Amino acid sequence: MTETKPTVIVRRVKKVQGGGHHGGSWKVAYADFVTAMMAFFLVLWLMAATTKPERAAISEYFRNPSPLSGTSSTPAPGMAGPGGASTSMIKLGGATDVSRGNSNDPFQNQQEAVPTPVQERERDRQRLEALKQELQEAISKSQALEPFKDQLLLDITPEGLRIQIVDKQNRPMFDL
């Protein structure tokens, strides 16, 4: 008797190349492209809609966002400085208005003639110098601020006393 072997049929499924599902990564790339194009067209529109002095002001803002020049003896860590200084006047008397002065003002109780703008500016400058000196002494005496002493910049600007907190090691100032 002869043995018959079973016949084995191998069927191979041919896969179609091309097309098909490629995941969603193309959507992210497309969204990035569309966002970049929108930003580009906004820049073009702004360039066409502004005058030359306005464009120069916008350019200067992105170089140094601070409206004040400052006179700090410590160099700033950035290319054009940390910037971002406030333009509001520092109220020396806390909640009381600067124009009324504070209770520790030696000039408050004196009867004097109406000061000229030059005298008033000089008096304000002297007050700001005294405040700056007082703050520098307090910072140097504080043990808690000892490691950060070189990161606190104090300088007098035309707008008042500017206090800047900078980071020398280029770390984030706050947790994410």
In the predicted structure, residue 113 carries a pLDDT above the cut 70? no
Q: Are residues 58 and 141 in the same domain?
A: no
Q: Which residue has the higher pLDDT, 169 or 56?
A: 56
User: Which pLDDT band, with edges at 50, 70 and 90, does 39 fall under?
Assistant: very high
Q: Are residues 82 and 58 in the same domain?
A: no
For the entire predicted model, the pTM comes to 0.35
Sequence-distant (≥ 6) Cβ neighbours of residue 145 within 8 angstroms: 139, 152
Q: What's the CA gap between 102 and 118, in Å, rounded?
A: 21
Mean of pLDDT values over 116-122: 86
Q: Are residues 153 and 76 in the same domain?
A: yes
Mean of pLDDT values over 95-111: 47
Q: Are residues 32 and 90 in the same domain?
A: no
94-98, 105-109, 130-134, 141-145: range with highest mean pLDDT: 130-134
Q: Are residues 77 and 158 in the same domain?
A: yes
In the predicted structure, residue 116 carries a pLDDT above the cut 60? yes
Instruction: Show the domain range for 39.
Output: 26-63
User: Which pLDDT band, with edges at 50, 70 and 90, does 18 fall under?
Assistant: low
- Residue 17 inside a domain? The answer is no
Q: Which two tokens stand for residue 67?
A: 């409206």
Q: Are residues 131 and 171 in the same domain?
A: yes
Q: What's the CA gap between 108 and 98, in Å, rounded?
A: 12
Which pLDDT does position 4 carry in this prediction? 85
96 pairs with which residues across the strands? none
